[in-house]
Amino acid sequence: MRMQHLMTQVSTVLEFGRIIIYTTSLRVVRTTFERCELVRKIFQNHRVKFEEKNIALNSDYGKELDERCRRVCEVPSLPVVFIDGHYLGGAEKILSMNESGELQDLLTKIERVQHPHECPSCGGFGFLPCSVCHGSKMSVIRNCFTDSFKALKCTACNENGLQRCRSCAS
């Protein structure tokens, strides 16, 4: 228990002055996708720097979200926002805080973005198709003894055949 408390303190210190938003780009459940879009737009309109962790692009983000929500005894329902390493809430909470002006007060210590723009490489998604397997998730290796080819799981990308964008990765 002591170790978990220490880990929580370390992650809180590392996230001081940062906003982390867990979202999804999957449109399977329209309301979830629309709530994620709404929260992203709210923070973009405030012109603050935030890190978006899209669980549809990387399953590690989903595991991370589950662990963080378990620590604060919350059921994860996208989007989920953490500010300074502390759980803030989902779309409804962010929307009500934004309308009351409470969010503006909370964002005074967050780094501002003067001219928000999307990364020219990835379009703001933070991921690109793998440069090794081109998104197929398989690498083909030639056996020099038999002149045959063998397909292996690509080790350069994630489960979706994607790599972090080097241009905008923080």
Would you state the pLDDT for residue 3? 44
Q: How many domains does the chain have?
A: 2
Residues 56 and 61: their CA atoms lie apart, in Å, by 9
CA atoms within 13 A on the CB side of 18: 13
More confidently predicted of 121 and 151 = 121
- 72 and 121 in one domain? no
Residue 61 lies in a domain: yes
Residue 154 lies in a domain: yes
Would you state the pLDDT for residue 117? 66
- 100 and 65 in one domain? yes
Please give the share of the chain, as a percent, with pLDDT higher than 90.
41
DSSP structure class, residue 120: T
Answer whether residue 161 shows pLDDT above 70.
yes
- 74 and 147 in one domain? no
**Helical ranges in 15-72 per DSSP H:** 30-45, 59-71
Rounded mean pLDDT of the chain?
A: 84
Residues 7 and 136: their CA atoms lie apart, in Å, by 36
Answer whether residue 26 shows pLDDT above 60.
yes
What is the extent of the structural domain holding 89? 19-107
- 149 and 101 in one domain? no
Residue 53 lies in a domain: yes
